[in-house]
Chains A and B, each alone.
Chain A
């Protein structure tokens, strides 16, 4: 029971989240339309419907704050829809704020923490201000009209409805079933019959109560005559007539003039207790109607439903929301199956080699190939399920940009491309904070103030381009602004002051090295922001978070022209293709995404520059690092000595052998001499961003898809490994963290100076 309740709650959260996100998207579109001077009543209607649904959902789940907020917003949106409130920037502000507030409320609701009640109250106040302190009441509010129906009225129909109400006519709902074949004629007949009595304002299909050959229509009619007259006049047409009651005539008038956050009627507990419908379906619509018009006769409303709303509900129901952890489990199973596959393949090979019973062997081989194919398809399928468009994050960013630029009083135009680029869901989740941070930096520190921009002849409206595209098995996200760029001089001065760089080194640093100072933690305190001309508040954190995802961040900047951050991320974290290599009789996996090529090492061509080995490869200089030396692996021993041989390799790598990097020239020779065998070695050319490193290994084993599993917390401090993967034979191969290795080997000389001189002080 509790479980079912939890499940329903989860459904509630994910659905609400989805609606809020849609709300945000619509708002952005509305904002754009408003600035362009276009009227978009349909968008307002969409937003209204979103808020309305939120209110209903919140009511069902007893989320009182969300319900209150929705109620107030509904009033505001209703007035917007009916043109009683002007769609101003202020109103949009309130609406944008409400999107943020919804997210916060959902969060606190989910975590069971104290809801930000003050913010709700404040927003409700501003909503009321925007509503004009409860100006003229909507004439429709006096009637129990279905909001869905109101939502689809054309302007003319709305106008007619309004004037009919103003004339004091009564409203009736007629319901009639027409045969599809003769509907035009029948409708005309009905219209002419009804004409003497009143005016047909609109008609809508009810979407129910009819078979394939006929359609049921709800007809809204304003009439001077009473219900009896209508029934008489339309007798024989199969029409049912209901009067739409007017609130004023009732004992409990709806206080629509001054919207107060009156307590919403709670649904009877019996509805809350049983497990909720897992997916929103059309059944929830009547519930929402109850919530909206508590004092109305539900039976009279049940049938009238906006077809558009019904459609959108149905399309939501066709998708399934799945907990990402369930997908992780599935992925693990596929990983296990991949291991079985490898073992199977090995067995088949053995059978083929032994040449026994050929036909069985051939059959088995064929079967195994089919199995392979299906397994690959399944793996691909699960990966695809995990993929979500980056647009999910970009929408949030667009809201942030709008908010920050208004706060900072800067005009910023955000241009998004590639929002449809897909990335693993987990990556998207982890990406929003770093991207948000970079966006904030770009506006706060990159884009200049309006006056400053004018002074240097730039358009007053700054532009931030947010681009995403796929590049091989990576996704690249760029954030590019046309602001003032990073002030490298000031940055360098600050670095020198902090002792990260010595005054002697400073002039020798390349542009790239200087820019990368932005990512050092010591340089990014708030006190420095102004003198550093911005850039880099918490950029070290951004870099760390992106690195956690296996991504890299790069930065280019030109003074006065702009700054561009490039984030390169793997598309998925779960399964990767890897190059298996052997070194000291141990297998290591190198993610193929980081591998450019593998070549045979010609030890004669190795040169030593500044204490580091390099070779010239395809016209470029490639720094080398021998895996055996880096990991202090023992020389290859004879096979089979698993534990005994390995125990001698357990010694920790002395830190000095990484850091100092300027020992004798014979180091390379040492590696070459390891083991008695002939030593043909290979260079695996790896790259991270634009940096390359040649990893020297003993042999290449082959390519393999591997499921990366994280090392346990007890090995958290061990650098250089992204995790480990199981091989077919219960053995494990460590997966190299190429980025860490590149940083370690390259940075050990690049940044040697900084770190030894106490950059962290």
Chain B
């Protein structure tokens, strides 16, 4: 438990309740796509890369940005914005590629606009009523969390409202 508290202080505070009665917590890596903050389970994210030179693949599915070489292995990079039908924008200096392999079948790169921070969230802090969001992306959303971010820990570009984090269901998102 001591270990737990220490860790918590490092990753930021949550608004609600004492930590002891919230049950086990999961770590989520938050990243920015356009104006919104999304997050995926840290356990699924293997590596964060500065985008290597990207080679587009003609005829590839819409969301595929191209392929990159990661230590000799070819990795297909998915544009998460396209995948989630978000408006597109040009590349930024802060853009990163997250390497994930959620299904165990293939390592994929997820192109995000900026990597923000890690949240530790208990299940009870997550609103699972994601279906309320509606739309075709609803099945890919695991829930919504509303953490408070310590102002100092935020290294984001500034204008992002991080009070609402959309948790992604990476497995179903990338399986299709």
Q: Which residues of B contact A644 (CB under 8 A)?
A: 90-91
Q: Are B66 and A646 touching (Cβ within 8 A)?
A: yes
Q: Are A712 and B60 touching (Cβ within 8 A)?
A: no
Q: Which residues of B contact A652 (CB under 8 A)?
A: 59-62
Q: Are B53 and A718 touching (Cβ within 8 A)?
A: no
Q: Are B60 and A718 touching (Cβ within 8 A)?
A: yes
The smallest C-beta distance from B112 to any residue of chain A, in angstroms, reads 14
With A715-B57, A721-B57 in contact, is A643–B74 under 8 Å at CB? Answer: no
With A650-B65, A712-B75 in contact, is A720–B106 under 8 Å at CB? Answer: no
CB-contact partner of A646 in B54, B62, B106, B107, under 8 A:
B54
With A631-B58, A712-B76, A714-B106 in contact, is A724–B67 under 8 Å at CB? Answer: yes
Q: Which residues of A contact B68 (CB under 8 A)?
A: 732
Q: Which residues of B contact A729 (CB under 8 A)?
A: 53
Report the Cα distance A650→B81, complex, angstroms: 14
Q: Are A726 and B60 touching (Cβ within 8 A)?
A: no
Report the Cα distance A692→B144, complex, angstroms: 57
Q: Which residues of B contact A715 (CB under 8 A)?
A: 57, 60-61, 64, 67, 76
Q: Are A734 and B51 touching (Cβ within 8 A)?
A: no
With A712-B75, A718-B60, A732-B74 in contact, is A643–B67 under 8 Å at CB? Answer: no
- Does residue A244 face the partner (Cβ distance < 8 Å to B)? no
With A711-B76, A713-B105, A726-B69 in contact, is A650–B55 under 8 Å at CB? Answer: no
Report the Cα distance A248→B91, complex, angstroms: 91
Task: Mark each residue of chain A from 698 to 740: 1 if its CB lies under 8 Å from any CB of chain B, else 0.
Answer: 0000000000011111110111110110100111111000000
Task: Mark each residue of chain B from 18 to 50: 1 if its CB lies under 8 Å from any CB of chain A, else 0.
Answer: 000000000000000000000000000000000
Q: Are B58 and A713 touching (Cβ within 8 A)?
A: no
With A650-B60, A652-B61 in contact, is A730–B91 under 8 Å at CB? Answer: no
With A633-B58, A726-B72 in contact, is A647–B88 under 8 Å at CB? Answer: yes
The smallest C-beta distance from B96 to any residue of chain A, in angstroms, reads 13
Q: Please classify how large the interface on chain A is, using the bins under 10, 10 to 19, 20 to 34, 35 or more.
A: 35 or more
- Does residue A653 face the partner (Cβ distance < 8 Å to B)? yes
Q: Are A642 and B54 touching (Cβ within 8 A)?
A: yes
Q: Which residues of B contact A649 (CB under 8 A)?
A: 56, 58
Report the Cα distance A335→B73, complex, angstroms: 12
The smallest C-beta distance from A646 to any residue of chain B, in angstroms, reads 4
Q: Which residues of A contact B59 (CB under 8 A)?
A: 631-632, 652-653, 718-720
Q: Which residues of B contact A713 (CB under 8 A)?
A: 105-106
Q: Which residues of B contact A544 (CB under 8 A)?
A: none
The chain A residue with its CB closest to the CB of B103 is: A713
Q: Which residues of A contact B58 (CB under 8 A)?
A: 631-633, 649, 653, 718, 720, 734
Report the Cα distance A714→B59, complex, angstroms: 12
Q: Are A647 and B65 touching (Cβ within 8 A)?
A: yes
- Does residue A502 face the partner (Cβ distance < 8 Å to B)? no
- Does residue A93 face the partner (Cβ distance < 8 Å to B)? no
Q: Please classify how large the interface on chain B is, using the bins under 10, 10 to 19, 20 to 34, 35 or more.
A: 20 to 34
Residues 69-115 (chain B) with a chain A CB within 8 angstroms:
69, 72-76, 78, 88, 90-91, 105-108
- Does residue B52 face the partner (Cβ distance < 8 Å to A)? yes
The chain A residue with its CB closest to the CB of B74 is: A709
Report the Cα distance A24→B20, complex, angstroms: 71
With A712-B108, A726-B69 in contact, is A643–B55 under 8 Å at CB? Answer: no
Q: Which residues of B contact A731 (CB under 8 A)?
A: 53, 55
Q: Which residues of A contact B74 (CB under 8 A)?
A: 709-712, 723-724, 732
CB-contact partner of B52 in A647, A730, A734, under 8 A:
A730
Q: Which residues of A contact B60 (CB under 8 A)?
A: 650, 652, 715, 718
The chain A residue with its CB closest to the CB of B91 is: A643
Q: Which residues of A contact B73 (CB under 8 A)?
A: 709
Q: Which residues of B contact A723 (CB under 8 A)?
A: 74
Q: Are A732 and B69 touching (Cβ within 8 A)?
A: yes
The chain A residue with its CB closest to the CB of B82 is: A650
Q: Are B76 and A332 touching (Cβ within 8 A)?
A: no
Task: Mark each residue of chain A from 670 to 714: 1 if its CB lies under 8 Å from any CB of chain B, else 0.
Answer: 000000000000000000000000000000000000000111111
Q: Are B72 and A714 touching (Cβ within 8 A)?
A: no
With A712-B74, A713-B105 in contact, is A734–B57 under 8 Å at CB? Answer: yes
The chain A residue with its CB closest to the CB of B68 is: A732
CB-contact partner of B72 in A332, A647, A721, under 8 A:
A332
Q: Which residues of B contact A335 (CB under 8 A)?
A: 72
Report the Cα distance A710→B58, complex, angstroms: 15
The smallest C-beta distance from B86 to any residue of chain A, in angstroms, reads 14
Report the Cα distance A644→B91, complex, angstroms: 7
Report the Cα distance A332→B72, complex, angstroms: 8
Q: Are B106 and A718 touching (Cβ within 8 A)?
A: no
With A642-B53, A643-B51 in contact, is A714–B76 under 8 Å at CB? Answer: yes
Q: Which residues of B contact A642 (CB under 8 A)?
A: 53-54
- Does residue A336 face the partner (Cβ distance < 8 Å to B)? yes
Residues 125-141 (chain B) with a chain A CB within 8 angstroms:
none
Q: Are A711 and B65 touching (Cβ within 8 A)?
A: no
The smallest C-beta distance from B75 to any residue of chain A, in angstroms, reads 7
Residues 408-442 (chain A) with a chain B CB within 8 angstroms:
none
For A650, A712, A713, the residue with the greatest tally of chain B CB atoms inside 10 Å of its CB is: A650
Q: Are B53 and A336 touching (Cβ within 8 A)?
A: no
Q: Which residues of B contact A336 (CB under 8 A)?
A: 72
CB-contact partner of A724 in B55, B106, B108, under 8 A:
B55
Q: Which residues of B contact A718 (CB under 8 A)?
A: 57-60
Report the Cα distance A428→B57, complex, angstroms: 31
Report the Cα distance A711→B64, complex, angstroms: 12
Report the Cα distance A652→B56, complex, angstroms: 11
The smallest C-beta distance from B158 to any residue of chain A, in angstroms, reads 23
The chain B residue with its CB closest to the CB of A335 is: B72
The chain A residue with its CB closest to the CB of B55 is: A732
The chain B residue with its CB closest to the CB of A634 is: B56
Report the Cα distance A757→B52, complex, angstroms: 45
Q: Which residues of B contact A726 (CB under 8 A)?
A: 69, 72
Q: Are B106 and A730 touching (Cβ within 8 A)?
A: no
With A644-B90, A650-B60, A650-B62 in contact, is A711–B67 under 8 Å at CB? Answer: yes
The smallest C-beta distance from A741 to any residue of chain B, in angstroms, reads 11
Q: Which residues of B contact A633 (CB under 8 A)?
A: 58
The smallest C-beta distance from A641 to any residue of chain B, in angstroms, reads 10
Q: Which residues of A contact B51 (CB under 8 A)?
A: 643
Q: Which residues of A contact B61 (CB under 8 A)?
A: 652, 714-715, 717
Other A-B pairs beyond A642-B53, A647-B65, 20, CB < 8 Å: A586-B55, A632-B58, A633-B58, A644-B90, A650-B66, A709-B73, A711-B57, A712-B76, A712-B106, A713-B105, A714-B78, A715-B64, A717-B61, A718-B60, A719-B59, A720-B59, A724-B55, A730-B69, A731-B53, A732-B68
Interface residues of B (CB under 8 A from A): 51-62, 64-69, 72-76, 78, 88, 90-91, 105-108
Shortest 4 CB-CB distances between A and B: which pairs?
A: A631-B58, A732-B55, A646-B56, A643-B91
Could you list 6 examples of A-B contacts with CB < 8 Å? A642-B54, A647-B56, A712-B76, A713-B105, A718-B60, A732-B55
Interface residues of A (CB under 8 A from B): 332, 335-336, 586, 631-633, 642-644, 646-647, 649-653, 709-715, 717-721, 723-724, 726, 729-734
